[in-house]
């Protein structure tokens, strides 16, 4: 199955859209091939992603995997493609069953236990998402405030690949969460609230945040 995830790469201080394509075969040896001018840090991401997926409670594909990073003529550097590669593999193996992720630009470095680490260029990522007309960005919690500076997009900060909104075994949080596309949490922008503390991206969460905002005013 083929999955496509939207992310970015930095060229200097400029952000360029990058599409991560993950194709998981139903046959062949369990080999992962990474193409699209990946540099050393990106090539190493394969093993980070493998262990992060397994240690987060999911299964890594047992057959041939091809990961393409487009555009193919731009060098890909840094670890920020870890999270989009992992989500692409989870989507290609049906741990993620929906395609809502296509409305977002996604970036993040993965630790071996599935935690997300800070990346460079979160502000550039958010600006790119706005220019492309995306709903928002999904990125590490440590980059939340930097990305939230950009108005007109939604910022979803997560701390791990096995996000705490996961309620059903074998389902990823991106599939389990009902991500709203109408309202951006102003408490998140102001740094008073993190969606990591919410049981789900539900309407109740947004009403709660709106209520607290009014009381503060």
Read off the pLDDT of each residue in 38-60 and give the average, rounded to a whole number.
94
Which CATH entry fits the domain spanning 2-216: 1.10.3130.10, 3.90.600.10, 3.40.50.620, 3.30.230.10?
3.30.230.10
What would the pLDDT profile of 144-187 be if each residue is shown by its tens digit?
999 999 999 999 999 999 864 333 334 455 654 434 333 343 33
Share of residues in the chain with pLDDT > 90 (%): 67
Least confident of 49-53, 123-127, 172-176: 172-176
Kindly report the pTM of this predicted structure. Answer: 0.77
Residue ranges of domains in the chain: 2-216
- Residue 37 to residue 145: CA distance in whole angstroms: 31
The structure tokens listed for 201 are 């991206």
Q: Which residues of 160-198 are buried (b: 16+ CB within 10 A; e: fewer)?
A: bbbbebbeeeebbbbbbbebeeeebbbbbbeeebebbeb
């Amino acid at each position: 199955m083929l999955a496509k995830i939207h992310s970015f790469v930095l060229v200097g201080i400029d952000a360029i859209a990058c599409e991560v394509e993950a194709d998981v075969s139903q046959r062949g040896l369990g080999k992962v091939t990474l193409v699209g001018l990946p540099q050393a840090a990106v090539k190493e991401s394969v093993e980070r992603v493998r262990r992060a997926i397994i240690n987060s409670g999911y299964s890594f594909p047992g057959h041939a995997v091809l990961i393409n990073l487009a555009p193919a003529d731009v060098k890909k550097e840094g670890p920020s493609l870890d999270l989009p590669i992992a989500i692409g593999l989870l989507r290609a193996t049906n741990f993620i069953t929906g395609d809502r992720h296509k409305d977002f630009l996604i970036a993040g470095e993965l630790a071996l236990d599935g935690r997300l680490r800070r990346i460079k260029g979160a502000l550039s990522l958010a600006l790119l998402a706005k220019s492309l007309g995306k709903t928002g960005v999904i990125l590490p919690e440590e980059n939340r405030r930097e990305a939230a500076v950009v108005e007109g997009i939604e910022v979803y900060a997560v701390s791990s690949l096995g996000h705490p909104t996961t309620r059903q075994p074998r389902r990823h949080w991106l599939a389990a969460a009902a991500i709203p596309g109408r309202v951006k949490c102003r408490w998140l922008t102001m740094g008073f609230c993190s969606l990591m503390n919410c049981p789900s991206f539900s309407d109740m969460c947004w009403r709660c945040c709106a209520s607290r905002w009014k009381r503060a005013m």
